[in-house]
Amino acid sequence: MTTQNPIESSSFKDDLLNIYPAKVARKRAKSVLENNPDVPEEIQANVRTVPGIITQRGCTYAGCKGVVLGPTRDIVNLVHGPIGCSFYAWLTRRNQTDAGTDGENFINYAFSTDLQDENIVFGGEKKLKEAIREINQLFHPKAIGIFSTCPVGLIGDDVHSVARDMEAELEDKVNIFGFSCEGYKGVSQSAGHHIANNGLFKHVIGLDDTDNGGKFKMNLLGEYNIGGDAFELERTFKDLGITLVSSFSGNSTYDKFANSHTADLNAVMCHRSINYVAEMMEKKYGIPWMKVNLIGAEASAKSFRKIAKYFDDAELTKLTEEIIERELAEVKKVRDEVLPRTKGKTAMLFVGGSRAHHYQELFKEMGMTIVAAGYEFAHRDDYEGRRVLPTIKVDADSRNIEELKVTKDDARFKPRKTEEFLHKLDESFKESGDELMSDYRGMMSEMQKGALVIDDLSHREMERLIEIYHPDVFCAGIKEKYAVQKMGIPLKQLHSYDYGGPYAGFRGAINFYRDIDRMVNSNVWHLIPAPWDKTAPTLTAGFVA
């Protein structure tokens, strides 16, 4: 089946891009295409946004401090920079956490050095040291991460040497590490993920060799407990008897990161933000990784089966099937109820670096069509699959980010499975149509032919898309939400879930079906014309302008 595009793709592109100057239009054209799942076409991604275009993207500091380190409750995240950088990162991402009983939950605090003009002129290192002393005195944390904002890079403060000096100075044993994650360091928050992964790998992962037991031990990577997603997934892992040694980084702690190399499998949810940790842990410690998708009931079932196949245990396999059957029965009840109302509706998803892909599963389960989708900051492999990795051009912006030289840790490297077993496992994944170990096929292979794929969608392009296609729901974030709703289209925030969720796993699917059903079938937004819109129908009685 192909999606019905009301206009030819070439003219669609023209229509979308004709407002730009010729040079800009030429550049944008490389990031806009009509999908062909059989031979995913090359898409331009992870390149600079043209100045002046309103982008959905965030900055490198956001990717490092907010995304990867943000959900860990017991590392103090100290922002070195002006207060605005903290204000806009203070509890704005809905990563939830189990507060624990040790009193070490710092998530609700905003730690900032509050740089002033004087510090910008004379340097901010002294103030940074003072802040670390104060934090240590007040909170006695195990670890402090220092996050560099744009001015820190511009004035040349060395957060890494401050971290070393302060570790030596403080009598308490505190692991202090800095991140050179200045907002401008990369073209988006994606660079911040890489910097965060490197920092965790260098300073935390592997510090604690204690074997805490468990028959099936794994890490869940790239799951951030937005709206309680991790809690729902933990429920099922617990039912399965699988031990989550750590999760990066939803509902996580410092100690779990330090111990994560004792796991036997890394399951990767968000490939974009955490693939670096998966690859480095495989090289250094011998932990194999697989891509999973725990968004969508069917996709979750498939992923739990993949995990069970890896652990290769008759009892676990049986239990997995029982749990899937039990959970899908509950899911089906709600799905059957909403399906007549949601079937045939259309959706667009423009989110981050993985959700625009994963959430398509949920819409498909509801019988909805994806007309267009794209990431804000993903790389070509997230669209076209990891097979294109060798052909991705390394430009100056990517070279800006350190590539750690990782080698085998002779003392702690332990092959988890034999080569022969892994080979057989891949054979069976191939048979069931699943991704092989260490692979990700990307978004495009799973999208319908003819659907539009657009990277780093601009605000103007978004408005044109809505005018042309009138989707029943548009999925994006808070920056887009009200602009889209003013156009009469409901917007589902797929970053924060609009105060809802969880949406992961089996119960998450049920929540999502209900929320989307409500949104696409009680669309109040098109009933409320904007007061300045002279072409809109007159207000019905009962509505107040």
Catalytic positions are 59, 62, 93, 193
Residue 26, classified by CB atoms within 10 Å of its CB into exposed (0-12), middle (13-18) or buried (19+), is exposed
Judged by CB under 6 A, which of 82, 183, 199, 352 binds ligand CFM? 352
Smallest gap from Cβ 293 to ligand CFM, in A, equals: 11
Residues in the chain: 545
Task: Say if CB 152 and CB 124 are below 8 A apart.
Answer: yes
Task: Say if CB 486 and CB 530 are below 8 A apart.
Answer: yes
Per CB under 6 A, which region of 29-37, 103-111, 265-273, 454-462 contacts ligand CFM?
Answer: 265-273
Please tell me whether residue 353 binds ligand CFM under the rule CB under 6 A.
yes
Q: How far apart are the first and last CA of the chain?
A: 43
For ligand CFM, the closer CB: 224 or 429: 224
Binding mask 213-232 for ligand CFM (x = CB under 6 A): ---------x-x-x------
Judged by CB under 6 A, which of 60, 189, 360, 369 binds ligand CFM? 189
Q: Which residue is nearest to ligand CFM (CB)?
A: 352
Please tell me whether residue 360 binds ligand CFM under the rule CB under 6 A.
no
For ligand CFM, the closer CB: 64 or 316: 64
For ligand CFM, the closer CB: 185 or 495: 495
Judged by CB under 6 A, which of 127, 194, 256, 355 binds ligand CFM? 355
For ligand CFM, the closer CB: 46 or 113: 46
Binding mask 128-167 for ligand CFM (x = CB under 6 A): ----------------------------------------
Separation between Cα atoms, residue 49 and residue 223, nearest integer Å = 27
The three-class DSSP label of residue 268 is: strand
Separation between Cα atoms, residue 166 and residue 145, nearest integer Å = 12
Place of tokens 């924060």: 496
For ligand CFM, the closer CB: 124 or 250: 250
Buried/exposed 227-239: b ≥16 CB within 10 Å, e otherwise: bbbbbbbbebbee
Please tell me whether residue 59 binds ligand CFM under the rule CB under 6 A.
no
For ligand CFM, the closer CB: 222 or 471: 222
Task: Say if CB 403 and CB 414 are below 8 A apart.
Answer: no
Rg value, the chain, Cα: 24
Smallest gap from Cβ 245 to ligand CFM, in A, equals: 20
Tokens of 206: 């592997």
Please tell me whether residue 354 binds ligand CFM under the rule CB under 6 A.
yes
- In DSSP notation, 6-61 reads SS-HHHHHHHHHTTS-HHHHHHHHTTEEE--SSSPPP---S-PPPTTS-BS---HH
Q: Which residues contact 281 (CB under 8 A, 6 or more apart)?
A: 201, 205, 260, 261, 266, 287, 289
Per CB under 6 A, which region of 27-35, 172-180, 307-315, 349-357 contacts ligand CFM?
Answer: 349-357
Per CB under 6 A, which region of 260-268, 270-278, 327-335, 466-474 contacts ligand CFM?
Answer: 270-278
Q: Which residues in this chain contact ligand CFM in the complex, by CB under 6 A?
A: 63, 67, 93, 189, 222, 224, 226, 270, 272-273, 351-355, 495
